[in-house]
Structures are given as C-alpha cells and as structure tokens.
Amino acid sequence: MNISVYLPDSLKNRFDSYVKKKGMTTNGAIRKAVELLLKQESNKKWGNWINKLDSGDSDFPSIEEIRKDLNSPKENLF
C-alpha cells in the first residue's frame, strides 16, 4: 500500500537526519514508526495506572517485610 504524507520542512529535515544517522531507508523508518505507534496504543488498554506499578506504593510494606511475620509450616505438606 502506498501512502503520501506531508511533513513540515523542520520535521522532514529532522526525519532525514535520523534516517541517515541510523542507516535506515525512509520506508523502513516510517514502517517502524507506525509499528511503534500501534504497539504503544495497544499497551494503553490498561490505562496509565499500570505503568506506575513498577514504582510500588511506599505506604504498603514490602513482601519481604510481611513474610518475616509468617510462621513456618508445622509439617511438610508433600
């Protein structure tokens, strides 16, 4: 499929520099950009809150902190 896209001169110049620096073709760079855009959008189905899970909740104790208060099992269940 062929698509024509208008880019303002400043964006076109930046794009051309990027493509040249990376040793990519114009078509390859545009395909990659579209793939990344669609992947980014598909990752948003959970909402932005999911991205904050890595940082954790400083008000909630760590799992290691909680585990130290657990009792060992009285017998081997297996």
What's the pLDDT tens digit per position in 57-69?
677 777 788 888 8
In this predicted structure, what is the pLDDT of residue 51?
65
Is residue 51 classed as helix, strand or coil in its secondary structure? helix
CA 8 to chain centre: 28
- Cα–Cα dist 7/15, whole Å: 9
Q: List, for residues 11-56, the tens digit of each pLDDT value.
A: 999 999 999 999 999 999 999 999 998 888 776 666 666 666 666 6
pLDDT of residue 1: 81
Find the angle CA(41)-CA(21)-CA(31) to the nearest 5 degrees.
30
Helix then strand then coil, in percent of the chain rounded to 5, is: 60, 0, 40
